[in-house]
């Protein structure tokens, strides 16, 4: 079993931990760290949710790449579309909450979603490029 092929998942884990710490630090600096306890989902829960989804997506893409490298891009698009649907279901309680801080919580959700989407895209591009070389 070649562990090097699972390096994107390790990269994703390191990225998740670093960005979570930066995000928490930013919340502390601007004074919103107490506000987080009133959120529907705390930052560690959001990061865990998106890390789990991204790990599943990357694991599937690695397996697809082993079988047929030409299908990695299409598989990525399909899995990302599925992820967007699951993320919407996860976001629904935030959208339905009529709290004064819900706008800030929605922004946090969007930031985390976009961070993981960008990271998954970059890791998928690396996966496709490595197979072509």
**pLDDT tens-digit readout, 7-43:** 888 889 999 999 999 998 988 888 777 777 788 888 9
Averaged pLDDT, 48-61: 95
pLDDT at 1 over 80: no
CA gap 109, 114 in Å, rounded = 9
- pLDDT band at residue 132 using 50, 70 and 90 as cut-offs: low
Task: Assess contact for 43 and 108: CB atoms under 8 A.
Answer: yes
pLDDT digits (tens, 9 = 90+) for 65-120: 989 888 999 999 999 999 999 999 999 988 888 877 778 888 899 999 999 999 99
Task: Assess contact for 127 and 8: CB atoms under 8 A.
Answer: yes
Averaged pLDDT, 124-131: 84
What's the confidence (pLDDT) of residue 74? 94
Whose tokens are 């996860």? That residue is: 90
- pLDDT band at residue 131 using 50, 70 and 90 as cut-offs: low
Helices (H), 31-132: 43-67, 72-96, 102-132
């Amino acid at each position: 079993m070649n562990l090097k092929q699972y390096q994107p998942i390790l990269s994703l884990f390191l990225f998740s931990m670093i960005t979570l710490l930066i995000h928490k630090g930013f919340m502390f600096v601007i004074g919103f760290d107490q506000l987080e306890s009133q959120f529907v989902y705390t930052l560690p829960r959001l990061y865990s949710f998106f890390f789990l989804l991204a790990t599943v997506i990357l694991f599937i893409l690695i397996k697809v790449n082993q079988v047929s490298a030409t299908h990695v891009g299409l598989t990525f698009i399909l899995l990302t579309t599925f992820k967007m649907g699951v993320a919407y279901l996860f976001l629904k309680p935030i959208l339905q909450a009529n709290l004064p801080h819900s706008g800030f919580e929605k922004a946090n959700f969007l930031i985390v979603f976009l961070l993981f989407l960008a990271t998954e895209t970059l890791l998928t591009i690396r996966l496709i490029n490595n197979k072509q070389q």
